[in-house]
Chain A
Amino acid sequence: EAGVTQFPSHSVIEKGQTVTLRCDPISGHDNLYWYRRVMGKEIKFLLHFVKESKQDESGMPNNRFLAERTGGTYSTLKVQPAELEDSGVYFCASTTTAGLGGTEAFFGQGTRLTVV
């Protein structure tokens, strides 16, 4: 069975451009999370989907970030317009219906975003 996959693995864009990151969770996982690690610091929570609904978006930095999960399957995270401080590694994770109650959250390999 495929794990959590993220695309692209790397992206280099200029300041002001738009980038869209994609995450395909494990099939059947209702919970999908986005996280970000900036410049070797801690991995920070961005938001959480339950199926197609946003359960918690308290970690989204600002309105330049837009996350969607149409149909409750894959998710996209769009940054528009990108700024230098958006550079980092964006991780996606998914869990089963039970959520995090002792259950493993499966992470993708991450998308490394560099804004120049």
Chain B
Amino acid sequence: GEDVEQSLFLSVREGDSSVINCTYTDSSSTYLYWYKQEPGAGLQLLTYIFSNMDMKQDQRLTVLLNKKDKHLSLRIADTQTGDSAIYFCAERRGGGYNKLIFGAGTRLAVHP
């Protein structure tokens, strides 16, 4: 199975909150990331959280981390049509120079 798992699709109404969930496997991961990919574009870092934190808030974005359950979530408040994209969860593996392990991405569709 995949090391990082996400649900593949989420549909929300404009103005509602979106919650995208992710589970990961490596308890030694030090950083966890959320990337956004808009159509035809590359991956854009939205936010990241250090493993000794439970929550991080940045404007409309709230990241929650449950290390015990290896569960990460991204909440987008007041979701807008411009938030429609694929959201990738990723964990940082390894010491020193290291690499990102990504999930398959969650496609967020925002409708009026």
Residues of A bordering B, CB below 8 Å: 3-4, 31, 33, 35, 40-45, 48, 50, 55-56, 59, 91, 93, 99-102, 104-105, 107-110
Please list the 5 inter-chain residue pairs (A to B) with the smallest Cβ-Cβ separation, ordered nearest first: A43-B102, A107-B43, A109-B42, A107-B42, A42-B104
Interface of B is mostly: strand
- Residues of B near A99 (CB, < 8 A) are 96-98
B45 in contact with A41 (CB, 8 Å)? no
- Residues of A near B97 (CB, < 8 A) are 31, 48, 50, 55-56, 99-100
Residues of B bordering A, CB below 8 Å: 2, 4, 31, 35, 40-45, 48, 50, 88, 90, 92, 96-105
**How far does the alpha carbon of A105 sit from the alpha carbon of B46 in the complex, in Å?**
11
- Residues of A near B96 (CB, < 8 A) are 99
**How far does the alpha carbon of A49 sit from the alpha carbon of B44 in the complex, in Å?**
21
B42 in contact with A110 (CB, 8 Å)? yes
B43 in contact with A102 (CB, 8 Å)? no
20 contacts between A and B (CB under 8 A): A33-B100, A35-B102, A40-B105, A42-B2, A42-B105, A43-B102, A45-B100, A55-B97, A56-B97, A91-B42, A100-B31, A100-B97, A100-B100, A101-B31, A102-B48, A104-B45, A105-B45, A105-B100, A107-B42, A107-B43
A40 in contact with B43 (CB, 8 Å)? no
* Distance in Å: Cβ of B103 to nearest Cβ of chain A: 6
**How far does the alpha carbon of A109 sit from the alpha carbon of B44 in the complex, in Å?**
10
